Structure 1
Amino acid sequence: MSSQKKPVGVVPLGEVPEIALKVIAAHISGYYKLSVQILPPLEHPEYAFDERRFQYNAGIILKAFESMRFKDYDKIIGVLNPDLFIPIFTHVFGEAKQGGKFALVSLFRLGKNPDGSPSPSSLIYERVAKVALHELGHLFNLLHCQEKRCLMHFSGDIQDLDETPINLCRYCSTFLKDRLLRQSDNEESLKKLDKIPLNLLGSKERFRQ
C-alpha cells in the first residue's frame, strides 16, 4: 500500500490515448509515491459544451463529478481531449477544486509548440505529466507558487508550461510531504514518504510512444 488509504483514480472522458493515461499514472506514482488506478472511460462530457465559445466548461464537469460514485478513490483526475475554459480565462490546461477531490487535464493545447508547429511525442507527454501533477497539487491544497522554478507556478500558455520544471520548490515539497504524512495511517506508508526528497527531481528519461 502506498502513502494513502485510497488510490488516485485516473479516468478518461471519452476517447483518450491510453499512453496519456499511463504517463499520468506513472508520474503520480513515481513523484508523489501514491497508488494509482486507471479507471474505465466515462462518456464524453457533451453537457459541458458552450456553444458561444466552442469550448467545454471545466466547472460544469467538476460539478458533475460530485454526483458520481468514486468512494473507493481519494482523488480523481479526469482526462479529456476537448479544450477547457473557466469564465475568467480564455482557456485552461487543467482545473481543480482547491483542496477537493476532483481535477481535470485537457490534452487539447498540449500537442503544439508556441509557433503552432507539432510537438514531439516526448514533449507532449512531459506537458501532460506537468499539468496532471500541478492539478493534483491543488487537490492536496497547494496554491499557485510565486517561484518560477516550481511546478506549482501558474502557466498561462505553452511557453510558460515548457519553462516550468517538473519538480516542486522546497516550500511546496515540504507542504505536500506534510499533507501526505498526515493522511498516512500505517508505518509502511510513513517509511515510503520519508524517501520523498525535499526537492522532487525530474527524471531525465521521457516517455516515448
Structure 2
Amino acid sequence: MARICALLCALVVCAAAPSSQAAARKVIYIQPLGSKLPKASVDLVKKSLEVFFGRPVRVLKRRPLPRAAWYKPRGRWRAEKLLDHLVKWLPADGQRILGLTASDISTTKGKYKDWGVLGLATLDGRACVISSFRAKRGRARSKLHVRERLAKTAVHEIGHTFGLDHCPQRGCILEDARGKVSTTDGEYDICPVCRAKLRKKGFVLPAKPKIPWRRPRRPR
C-alpha cells in the first residue's frame, strides 16, 4: 500500500530497503525532463544536493517527458509514472536519481484522482521528481525566490528517498508543506532529529553545510 508523505500534498511510495550493492553507490543524478530549465535553477539544485548530502551530483542529458506519463484530462504529467521511468534511467554508479521539470506534475491524493504537486518521492527508494511549475505560485517574489523553493524541494524529496518522513519541526527542510508552496519559504536546514534518523540508517550528512539559500525573512 502506498504510504502518504505530502509536499504540497505529494505522495511518497514505500520501497524495499536498499541492498548492500545499492548502499555502495554514491552518486546522485539529476535528470532534466521536458523543456529546458534555466541553468541557474539546475545549478542551484545541484549545489544544494551536494551541500546537504555530501555526495557527488551529476546532471544527465535532458530527456523528453515520457508520453506514458501524460494525463490528458488535466493536461499534465503523472508523477508516479515518471518515477517508474527514472528508476530505469539511473546509471549503474547512481545511488539516487531526481527528475527535474518545468512542467506541471500530479498524482492521486485521497479522494482526488489527480492532484497537482511540487514533488513526489519513493520512500527508502531510489527516485524522486520535482517541478518548478508550482514553485512559481504562492507569491513568488523573484526568479531567485523560485529557484530557492525548487532547491529546497529537491533536498526534501531526496531526504524522503533516504527514508525520512515529514518532520513536525518548523523550519526543517522535511517539514510538511500542508498544501502550501509558501511553506518552503520558512524552511532552512535539516533539523538535528532528522539528521540523527539518517545516521541510524547509515547516512551521515555534512555537519555544518554552507546553506545555499537565504535565511527566512521572518518567523512564520
Name the TM-score, length of structure 1 as normaliser.
0.80
Residues in 2 aligned to 1:120 and 1:78: alpha-carbon distance in whole angstroms:
23
- Percent identity, please: 23
Residues in 2 aligned to 1:178 and 1:36: alpha-carbon distance in whole angstroms:
23
Mark the runs of 5 or more structure 1 residues left unpaired by the alignment: 184-192
Mark the runs of 5 or more structure 2 residues left unpaired by the alignment: 1-22, 216-220
Contact 2:69 2:82 (8 Å CA) reproduced: yes
**Map of 2:207 onto structure 1:** 196
What's the CA shift for 1:107? 0.8
Residues in 2 aligned to 1:204 and 1:93: alpha-carbon distance in whole angstroms:
18
Classify 1:194/1:99 alpha carbon distance in 2 versus 1 (closer, same or farther; 3 Å).
closer
For residue 198 of structure 2, the aligned residue among 163, 172, 176 is 176
What's the CA shift for 1:44? 2.2
Name the TM-score, length of structure 2 as normaliser.
0.76
In structure 2, give the amino acid aligned to 1:12. P
**Map of 1:188 onto structure 2:** none
Classify 1:162/1:195 alpha carbon distance in 2 versus 1 (closer, same or farther; 3 Å).
closer
What's the CA shift for 1:195? 4.9
What's the CA shift for 1:112? 3.3
Residues in 1 aligned to 2:73 and 2:176: alpha-carbon distance in whole angstroms:
26
Residues in 1 aligned to 2:104 and 2:81: alpha-carbon distance in whole angstroms:
13
Instruction: Give the RMSD, CA atoms, in angstroms.
Output: 2.3
What's the CA shift for 1:6? 2.4
Q: Secondary structure at the match of 2:135?
A: coil
For residue 184 of structure 2, the aligned residue among 156, 161, 165 is 161
Kindly report structure 1 stretches of 4+ aligned residues shifted beyond 6 Å.
none
1:107-186 map, 5 Å: 107-114=132-139, 119-155=141-177, 156-163=179-186, 165-179=187-201, 182=202
After superposition, give the CA deviation of every residue in 1:134-159 in whole Å (9 maximum; x if it has no partner): 00000100001122221111112222
What's the CA shift for 1:48? 1.1
Classify 1:149/1:18 alpha carbon distance in 2 versus 1 (closer, same or farther; 3 Å).
same
For residue 130 of structure 2, the aligned residue among 99, 102, 105 is 105
Classify 1:203/1:12 alpha carbon distance in 2 versus 1 (closer, same or farther; 3 Å).
closer
Tell me how many residue pairs correspond in the alignment. 187
